């Protein structure tokens, strides 16, 4: 009886996996999994960013923290009177990135901007700011149309080695409130123009469309091709409030993508507003000095599919090895 009991103990010990064998695998999951970060695309209406606004250190620091979260960000209402505001922001971003490199990967930021657009007394620019390590701007395009827009859309053709989808177009629009429905509809014409230019159907439109409240009603949608054409997906919903103030609860700022391949490359549930006052613990008064709008953002899946599978494979391999060693 004692011999039988001893044999059972031996068998039990053989199949018991020591915890220390599994520890390296779990550590690998934590380290490797944490190393993979999503590619974030953002859009932000900064409401008259000029040299005076950029000279406010608190405002500039807040914009820097917002932009530094994004691989590429579309800025709207950059006043065209001078370029010093973007120079100040880029300098701040690159200083901030070097300082943060002690804890995270440091990046270098660059920009590409549209021509001066809008009414003579309110000329603005679209500006894309991007990380040069993760984004390569292959081309840019200013929409050519017969006065279809107050501020004609500006598009960039982007390549990234870090994303599941390598090449795509980003088109920015800051729609005029008085003609929001017509301008949103005419984004379909912009789509055809950039498709003809770059022969790539992976197109994303983003920016302050004024696509909510009285500017775009449910009835208006039947006259908007970006809504009626099912090839386009609206990632920021109608009930999303993209404004900070209590006076408005409107989905002005939007992100729209074309095609199933682009949609599949987007991380589920990643399209949202970034509540920077809450995240940075700012008072509403301080936040409103930056803008009445929240930034909107969406993330693309990483191209590192094999890298993402490695932790699980490694965990299984190490566990199997431990089991064999314990026999």
CATH number of the structural domain spanning residue 98: 3.60.10.10
Supply the DSSP symbol for 18. Answer: P
Give the chain's length: 327
Estimate to the nearest angstrom the gap between the alpha carbon of 181 and the chain centroid: 25
Main-chain phi, psi angles of 129, to 5 degrees = -110, 135
Examine the pLDDT at 96 and tell me if it is beyond 90. no
Residue with tokens 């053989």: 14
Mean pLDDT of 272-279: 98
CA dihedral sign of residues 314, 317, 323, 324: negative
* Confidence band for 102, pLDDT divided at 50, 70 and 90: low
30 within domain boundaries: no
Tell how strand 39-49 and strand 296-300 pair up: antiparallel
Helix (H) / strand (E) element for 40: namely strand 39-49
Main-chain phi, psi angles of 155, to 5 degrees = -125, 150
Cα–Cα distance between 73 and 111 in angstroms, integer?
A: 9
Stronger pLDDT, 54 or 30, i.e. the higher one: 54
105 within domain boundaries: yes
Domain span at residue 185 reads 37-307
2 within domain boundaries: no
CB crowding 81-93: b at 16 or more within 10 Å, else e: eeeebbebbbebb
Following DSSP, what letter does each residue of 269-303 receive, concatenated?
T--EE--HHHHTT--HHHHHTT-SB--EEEEEPBS
166 within domain boundaries: yes
Condensed to tens digits (0 to 9), the pLDDT of residues 45-70 reads: 999 999 999 999 999 999 999 999 99
Cα–Cα distance between 92 and 59 in angstroms, integer?
A: 11
Do 59 and 290 meet the contact criterion of CB atoms below 8 Å apart?
yes
Condensed to tens digits (0 to 9), the pLDDT of residues 284-324 reads: 999 999 999 999 999 999 987 534 444 544 444 444 544 44
CB-side neighbour CA atoms (13 Å) of 104: 12
- Cβ atoms within 10 Å, residue 242: 25
Cα–Cα distance between 136 and 128 in angstroms, integer?
A: 12
Do 130 and 156 meet the contact criterion of CB atoms below 8 Å apart?
no
Angle at which helix 84-100 crosses helix 57-67, to 10 degrees, equals 60
54 within domain boundaries: yes
Q: What is the pLDDT of residue 147?
A: 79
Q: What is the pLDDT of residue 88?
A: 97
222 within domain boundaries: yes
Q: What is the domain count for the chain?
A: 1
Supply the pTM of this predicted model.
Answer: 0.83
148 within domain boundaries: yes
Cα–Cα distance between 73 and 152 in angstroms, integer?
A: 18
For 261, the 3-state DSSP assignment is: helix
284 within domain boundaries: yes
Task: List the structure tokens of 64.
Answer: 């820097």
Condensed to tens digits (0 to 9), the pLDDT of residues 144-172 reads: 887 789 999 999 999 999 999 999 999 99
């Amino acid at each position: 009886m004692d011999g039988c009991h001893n044999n059972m103990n031996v068998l039990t010990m053989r199949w018991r996996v020591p915890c220390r064998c599994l520890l390296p695998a779990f550590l690998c999951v934590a380290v490797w999994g944490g190393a993979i970060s999503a590619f974030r695309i953002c859009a932000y209406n900064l409401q008259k960013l000029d040299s005076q606004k950029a000279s406010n250190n608190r405002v500039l620091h807040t914009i820097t923290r917002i932009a530094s979260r994004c691989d590429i960000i579309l800025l709207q209402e950059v006043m065209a009177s001078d370029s010093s505001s973007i120079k100040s922001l880029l300098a701040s971003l690159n200083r901030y990135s070097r300082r943060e490199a002690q804890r995270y990967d440091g990046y270098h930021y660059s920009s590409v901007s549209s021509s001066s657009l809008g009414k003579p007394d309110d000329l603005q620019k679209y500006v894309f700011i991007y990380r040069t390590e993760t984004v390569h701007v292959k081309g840019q395009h200013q929409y050519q149309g017969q006065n279809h827009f107050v501020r004609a859309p500006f598009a960039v053709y982007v390549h990234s080695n870090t994303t599941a989808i390598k090449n795509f177009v980003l088109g920015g629009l800051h729609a005029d409130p008085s003609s929001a429905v017509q301008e949103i509809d005419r984004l379909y014409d912009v789509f055809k123009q950039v498709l003809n230019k770059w022969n790539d159907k992976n197109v994303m439109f983003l920016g302050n469309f004024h696509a909510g409240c009285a500017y775009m009603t449910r009835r208006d949608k039947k006259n908007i091709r970006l809504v009626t054409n099912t090839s386009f997906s609206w990632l920021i919903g109608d009930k999303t409030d993209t404004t900070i103030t209590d006076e408005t609860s409107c989905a002005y700022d939007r992100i729209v993508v074309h095609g199933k391949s682009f949609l599949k490359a987007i991380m589920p549930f990643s399209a949202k507003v970034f509540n920077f006052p809450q995240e940075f613990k700012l008072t509403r008064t301080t936040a409103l000095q930056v803008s009445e709008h929240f930034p909107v953002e969406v993330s693309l899946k990483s191209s590192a599919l094999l890298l993402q599978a490695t932790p699980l494979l490694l965990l299984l391999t190490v566990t199997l090895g431990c089991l064999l060693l314990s026999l």
